Amino acid sequence: MSEDSDTTQARSRLLKPARPSEDQVRQLNDLSRRDYFPALARLSLFPENRSRKAYTVVRDIYLRFADSWWSKLMDIVELPLSKEERSKLVAEIKDEQKRMKEVELWLKPPEAPLSLDQALKFIKAAPSVAWQKTVMSRVGKRSRPGQPASKRRLALHALDIKCAYPHTSLSEATNRLCPCGRQKHLPQCRDQLRQQIIKLVKFLREHGLISSGSISRLGSGNRLNNSTTPVKYSPNSLHPCNLLF
Ligand SMILES: [Zn+2]
């Protein structure tokens, strides 16, 4: 089988997420305030897409932070807290929000992590000043004209392609994903993508989702490493072979 048809196959295995049905959207409105954002995040902000394996593990990381972040926000809004308890929670919320933003950069362009409309809807649901500020700080800021879009999510797509079809080369992934607009991509295009992939692999390793060996192997070139060292993975981890370009 030629490499070209390999790549075509890889593409066809990566599907778009299903659009939420009207029923699912209607059901969102029946949820309690506490359940609302976690459900919205799963249904609409970062919908499930099992065809994208790398996306799925990064999405899981995001949802863990988002659930905890939201639950603490709700505690501030709904529970009678002492001043001390409140400031402890606020510090935790800020920290989790920072982590969520970092994870979001891998998942989607930085322009719109949360739209203004969505934010206003949340605020209407809970009229607390502290909460309003927190929600508003998550509203996506438009990037300046000419500012390059984050390349991080391209790295995630590259790993999705690699998981869907392991024989994809870095050149093929670059041809498919690089947004430079050239007909023939430059070595720099590949290098940029590789750098982002290395960062993503490091991020996944920090979250215990891949083995430590994958990074040095990924960074050392395009060749498959024949290491036979056994590695333990968590059930949701990505097999390191998937990450070799
Ligand atoms: Zn390019």
Indicate yes or no: pTM above 0.75.
Answer: no
Q: pLDDT at residue 148 above 60? A: no
Please give the backbone phi and psi of residue 53, each rounded to the nearest 5 degrees, phi first.
-70, -45
How far, in Å, from the CA of 152 to the mean position of ligand 1?
A: 15
The predicted model gives 198-224 an average pLDDT of: 63
Report angle CA 6, 7, 13 to the nearest 5 degrees: 90
Banded model confidence at residue 242, pLDDT cuts 50, 70, 90: low
More confident residue, 132 or 57: 57
- The per-residue pLDDT of the chain, averaged, comes to 77
How far, in Å, from the CA of 149 to the mean position of ligand 1?
A: 14
Q: In this prediction, what percent of the chain has a pLDDT beyond 90?
A: 40
Which pairs count as long-range contacts for 158-161, CB under 8 Å and 24+ apart, including other chains? 158/193, 158/196, 158/197, 158/245, 159/53, 159/54, 159/197, 159/200, 159/238, 159/242, 159/243, 160/14, 160/52, 160/53, 160/54, 160/55, 161/7, 161/10, 161/11, 161/14
How far, in Å, from the CA of 175 to the mean position of ligand 1?
A: 7
Which range is most confident: 118-122, 138-142, 175-179, 228-232? Answer: 175-179
How far, in Å, from the CA of 193 to the mean position of ligand 1?
A: 9
More confident residue, 136 or 181: 181
| Longest CA pairwise span in the chain (Å) | 66
How far, in Å, from the CA of 126 to the mean position of ligand 1?
A: 45
Instruction: Identify the CA nearest to 210 among candidates 161, 173, 168, 163.
Output: 163
> What distance lies between CA 119 and its chain's CA centroid?
20
Residue 114: the pLDDT is: 65
Residue 26: the pLDDT is: 84
The predicted model gives 72-89 an average pLDDT of: 93
How far, in Å, from the CA of 9 to the mean position of ligand 1?
A: 22
How far, in Å, from the CA of 148 to the mean position of ligand 1?
A: 13
CB count in 10 Å sphere of residue 94: 13
How far, in Å, from the CA of 140 to the mean position of ligand 1?
A: 26
How far, in Å, from the CA of 16 to the mean position of ligand 1?
A: 24
Q: 52: number of CA atoms within 13 Å, CB side? A: 22
More confident residue, 41 or 13: 41
How far, in Å, from the CA of 145 to the mean position of ligand 1?
A: 20
Model pLDDT for residues 184-195, shown as the tens digit of each residue? 999 999 999 999
How far, in Å, from the CA of 195 to the mean position of ligand 1?
A: 14
How far, in Å, from the CA of 127 to the mean position of ligand 1?
A: 47
Instruction: Identify the CA nearest to 37 among candidates 77, 81, 91, 86.
Output: 77
Residue 39: the pLDDT is: 93
How far, in Å, from the CA of 191 to the mean position of ligand 1?
A: 10
How far, in Å, from the CA of 159 to the mean position of ligand 1?
A: 17
Model pLDDT for residues 90-124, shown as the tens digit of each residue? 999 999 999 998 899 899 876 555 677 777 776 67
Are residues 77 and 125 in contact, defined by beta-carbon separation less than 8 angstroms?
no
Instruction: Enumerate residues 6+ apart whose C-beta is below 8 A from 21.
Output: none
Instruction: Enumerate residues 6+ apart whose C-beta is below 8 A from 131.
Output: 73, 76, 77, 123
Model pLDDT for residues 156-169, shown as the tens digit of each residue? 999 999 888 888 99
Model pLDDT for residues 20-41, shown as the tens digit of each residue? 888 888 888 889 989 999 999 9
How far, in Å, from the CA of 151 to the mean position of ligand 1?
A: 12
How far, in Å, from the CA of 245 to the mean position of ligand 1?
A: 17
Q: In this prediction, what percent of the chain has a pLDDT beyond 70?
A: 67
What is the Cα–Cα distance from 163 to 158, expressed in whole angstroms? Answer: 9
